[in-house]
Structure 1
């Protein structure tokens, strides 16, 4: 993709008299991904889905503290999409905060952006476009919420349910799935996974498919079926898919993602590193064969908030 083939969105801040990328602060117990899409919509008036992350920016404040700002590539979100349907309305920023919103081709944007760090991010976006890595698909591996302990559950394993904490986690994970533009969900049919994805699919009306290959029993017998499921989704350049599963299946589903990784310093992704209601989010480029550019880990603050 050439720089002349796309535009970027900037905002003008009258208080600082500068042109910059839309950004802002996370609210109390607000996941970072949710904060990112909320701030963009408040400041720029557009809904976006987060794509592959960009380089974080760090700079020193007048107080002597160091501030870190995380950025992602953002893609406009269709108002008829499932991800948009799952989002609450936002209150637009005041004219005192943002007075002008401007789309521009990269060459023009480079002239307008005030800060050197913002121009570096623009250069990163242009370089990705040249490599065919700007447009990406998304695969999220979501571990189900906190379930009732095996020792205290009297029913069958497939019917074991979420705890009250798990139900709260399922509600809170909605914002992260929406932030990454998830348009379809594939889940283990066991009850704790059903309960975990239900709030998102109910709000968004995203298509939901139950796959027996994702159950703990199937993983124990033949994990290759679960791995193949991920490979099929990886091959689809239009996929924005969340897969809800049990921890024993994470290794099998991570395997195709790590095999297709283009990163030299991919963060350690192991089943042991993923807690209940956390998810790995993989961003896949499709210029040639599917290549995983990055895998992030995201979760909720539910447990912290309740304790």
Structure 2
């Protein structure tokens, strides 16, 4: 296979599996809380806890399980995890207030075995320029998936309930499983994981940047839809639509940063923190759903 055809092949596989996997992952994490509250009768505390379960199990899988696996074992785990997610989408549809807790933890572990290996696959080429192009494609696919997923879910929710959303994402789960066989894996002899990761250079700055993004995002994931429904009285599909301006502006921001990257991350990081504070404050104080959407879009800039 020529270098050009090989690149196109790798790019197509990486792009499609990234879109399918990340769209499904985002759907699960953003649907669990309203599913728990409006279908299973959970209170806000339990709705938040069940969302925390998927994040925590993903973190454990990503930080402690995935790094301990050698290349051959990791690929088998990756393929198996994609199959598990596909099966779990159907089980989510059939679940009840008890089963949901079990399958949520399993889904989190599976996602933790999938997502980190996608970005690793993007860098597995000898040519630096090709690797940069694949990483850029990965980042773009990631952003596109976060627009496609919420758009699909909003459409489904306009006609059906929260459980039906999981069925709607079955084709994406099947696509991810089918493509998982063609994702390349590196030979990894040693990786930093667990508590030893704290000793890594740049850990403090990483924690700061990740915290300013992930903590607000985790709160958005758990309660955005519920908040919009309860405060503004909008239907569930319109409430879920709130994610779309957020992810769309986020995509445009990432695209502009790719075209014109910053020379230093110090000031952009400070600006990101400021925008996060403005966006979250504006969301809480919004007098109408439309102003709420505007502040969601502003939050996407950070």
TM-score relative to the length of structure 2? 0.25
Q: Which has the higher helix share?
A: 2
Of structures 1 and 2, the one with the larger relative CO (CA 8 A, separation 6+) is 2
Q: Which has the higher strand share?
A: 1
TM-score relative to the length of structure 1? 0.25
